[in-house]
A and B are shown apart, each in its own frame.
Chain A
Amino acid sequence: MPEPVEALPGLSLDTDQGLLQWISSVDHKQLGIMYLWTALAFMLVGGAEILLIRIQLAVPRNTFLGPEMYNELFTMHGTTMIFFVAMPAIFGFATYLVPLMIGANDMAFPRLNALSLWLTIFGGLLMYFSFLAGGAPNAGWFNYAPLNGYNYSSQPGIDYYCAGLLLGGIGTVSASINLIVTILRYRTAGMALHNMPVFVWMMLVTACLVIAAFPSLNAALAMLLLDRRLHAHFFEVHDGGSALLWQHLFWLFGHPEVYIVILPSFGILSEVFSVYSRKPVFGYVFIVGSGIAIGLLAFGVWVHHMFAVGLGNTANNFFAASSMLIGVPTGVKVFNWLATMRGGSIRFTTSMMFATSFLVEFTIGGLSGIAFAIVPIDLQLTDTYFVVAHLHYVLIGGTLFGLLAGLFYWFPKMSGRMLNERLSNWFFWLFVVGFNVTFMIQHVLGTLGMPRRVYTYPDLPGWGTLNLLSSIGGFLMGAAMLLLVYIIVQALRSGPRAGADPWDAYTLEWTTTSPPPLQNFDRVIPVASVRPFRDFKMPHDADHKEVGKRKGIYGK
């Protein structure tokens, strides 16, 4: 196995042994970077798919895409964005950063780490191979029975959906187990659990959620494959099977999945708010505690995706109440971040801009989520564009904004280069404006009664105009994404050198060089608080000297 001779490279492909070194790498930093490239590549594909859909929906009675192609594209868009963009991006950040943040030199099981990455990549490629094998999956990312059955979808697309997601799922579970062992066993001396960076805490909770949630998806996918290939009857209603069983198993995974993709962003934002406000994160214990609470509650709310199924009032009321409950810890976090900024000396870098706009967009998404927890409103709005709007406000305004804040924050560490701040600002405004134009309008469309997952619509008053506006917003976001790719490539080619600690940050990853050498640390600085690097830089004013007093590390 070729080992790098000198310092490890940053994000670029020029290494001592070229491409072979990347393919054979077991180094957590290279694997993390490959996860991130994977996410970006699939993001461009998934984005292209949705732009085709927005062209189709731009005017009423359009015939740009046929109904079959439309079904395939919206299915692949959703599946790609959740499983092969959000998950690889999260695990990319985690794989890259967790060992650095806890002062370790690698993950606990480096080869397992490489296996997890490649399983994820091949899972994605396998799913896309379905386009060449006779038709892509076409039953939506939730893949409801009986649409997923052989009688409704005899093309092989859904078999590829099962196989691709099973591979990706196994990769995700093994990556999570690796992360848990790493976090629990490889922390540097002095880093007690209550000194861990919030991001590491959130990844610990996320990894626990993954190993508890993914088995139910994997089991459901295995059952579906048996149904489709060996004529079993799990989900075949006419043979005594149950379509509801699929929904229960899917959402028992699918709802925790929502928190699997948002908790890492919460972790990223806690670091970003703290560093760019020059303050410790307000109420560390509450931020971490509410993250754990979200993790526990995540498994008690899946039925709120099924209010309209008709499970009866008792079930609906129970899950409505538990769904409302989960808003509480989330609200606690938002107030903690606001309090972190209060009185701080804030620097509005692009990363901080994404973090602050996250607060606005995610709150909008959260409020429409609470609306869905109210069963009568859910019955009115379910399966309309209001759901689409809510979903994208939490997944883009929440997850993606958090990941982008993380990208702009840690890019100098990963590459050793600074991104062009002026172009980054352009990217921010283009993306945020495009995002709101696209999805704010869909709240209105949903309330007007436009159903989702339909490939065209009649020329009702207002529908055409609103859809056209929404499509224009989508193209603004697409242009912004291309700009982001340009900004990254340009910085890698000719960006100014970053130095080890360009943001004057607080955590351990900034104590090593940018990009870090193969062995992350020669010597790890002593850790006695959540901000060890700041303690190191200002020993007379160290956090651990006045725990709980003036600076309010524990929320005052």
Chain B
Amino acid sequence: MANSALDTRLLMRLVVFTESLFFMALLVAFVFFSLAPGFRQQQLAALDLGRTGAFTLVLFSSSFTYWRVEASARRGATGALKFWLLATIALGTVFLLGQAWEFHGLFGRHIDLASNTFGTSFFTLTGFHGLHVLIGLIILSILAGLAFAGDYDRPGSSIFQAIGIYWHFVDIVWAVVFTVVYVLPHFSRF
């Protein structure tokens, strides 16, 4: 039985709904531990707001490039589609590399999953987000491979909208995670 574009989009919205609750549980754990004394000092000392902020902008701009992918797919502009798709993959990869760089620096200062509750909740929350970015990059690479093989030469493929729901979701989750983990400790008095 063939699925319509509506089915696939509904499927993806439900996936995104259930995944956001998964992130909610990880966020709750992070906030729960962040109320303990000493947590915020470690957080402020360990995290580099400016550098991660820059990589955050990279991730957000990948949402913009993906929006161009969707527009190109609607018009059937195959060349533009391939270009914006590769741009999205590049931006996502840069973000992941930035996260790897950050993790590497923290490991060098003996902050890891096993060091304390800050390490535990920080690496779990951001790590699971990184995993979602990685899954997104794998999906986008498959789409790019198919695009170069000529699968989307005719306009009207709805797959890009469905995948778009996922990719934008990954960005929105990061907006929340970034706010809670990197920004708020600078402004809260707890």
Contact = CB atoms under 8 A, between A and B. Distances in A.
A549 interface: no
A184 B9 CA distance: 13
Size category of the binding interface on chain B = 20 to 34
A137 to B, nearest CB: 21
B117 A233 contact: yes
A211 B120 contact: no
B32 A232 contact: no
B113 A211 contact: no
A530 B53 CA distance: 56
Interface in B78-135: 113-114, 116-117, 119-121, 123-124, 128
Contacts of A216: 21-22, 24-25
5 contacts: A108-B11, A181-B10, A219-B26, A232-B123, A242-B33
A248 to B, nearest CB: 8
Contacts of A211: 14, 17-18, 21
Contact of A245 (B11, B18, B24, B29): B29
Main secondary structure of the interface of A (DSSP, over half): helix
B142 interface: no
A249 B6 CA distance: 33
B184 interface: no
Most buried by A among B15, B18, B128: B18
Nearest to B20: A215
Contact of B1 (A106, A177, A215, A219): A106
A250 to B, nearest CB: 11
Nearest to B127: A226
Interface of B: 1, 3-4, 6-7, 10-11, 14-15, 17-19, 21-22, 24-26, 28-29, 32-33, 36, 113-114, 116-117, 119-121, 123-124, 128
A232 B120 contact: yes
Contacts of A240: 33, 36, 116-117
Contact of B3 (A108, A222, A239): A108
Given A177-B11, A185-B6, A245-B29, 13 more contacts: A108-B3, A108-B11, A109-B3, A181-B10, A215-B18, A215-B19, A222-B128, A223-B124, A226-B113, A231-B113, A233-B116, A234-B121, A241-B117
A294 to B, nearest CB: 19
A506 interface: no
A245 B19 contact: no
A230 B17 contact: no
Interface in A100-118: 105-106, 108-110
A212 B17 CA distance: 8
Interface residues of A, number: 35
Contacts of A177: 11, 14-15, 18
Given A109-B3, A181-B7, A241 B120 contact: yes
B11 A223 contact: no
Nearest to B10: A181
Nearest to B32: A245
Contacts of A222: 124, 128
Interface in A463-503: none
A157 B24 CA distance: 28
Contact of A173 (B10, B18, B29, B113): B18
B30 to A, nearest CB: 10
A215 B25 contact: yes
Interface in A210-239: 211-212, 214-216, 218-220, 222-223, 226, 230-234, 239
A502 B38 CA distance: 70
Contacts of A230: 113-114
B108 to A, nearest CB: 18
Contacts of A226: 113, 120, 124
Contacts of B29: 219, 223, 234, 245, 249
Contacts of B21: 211-212, 215-216
Given A211-B18, A215-B22, A218-B22, A239 B116 contact: yes
A180 interface: yes
B100 to A, nearest CB: 17
Contacts of B114: 230-233
B14 to A, nearest CB: 4
Contacts of A214: 18
Most buried by B among A106, A218, A219: A219
Contacts of A223: 26, 29, 124
A109 B11 contact: yes
Nearest to A220: B25
Contacts of A108: 1, 3, 7, 11
A109 B116 CA distance: 44
Contact of A181 (B14, B18, B19, B28): B14
Interface string A231-264: 1111000011110010001001000000000000
Contacts of A212: 17-18, 21
A219 B117 contact: no
Nearest to B114: A231
Nearest to B14: A177
Contacts of A252: 25
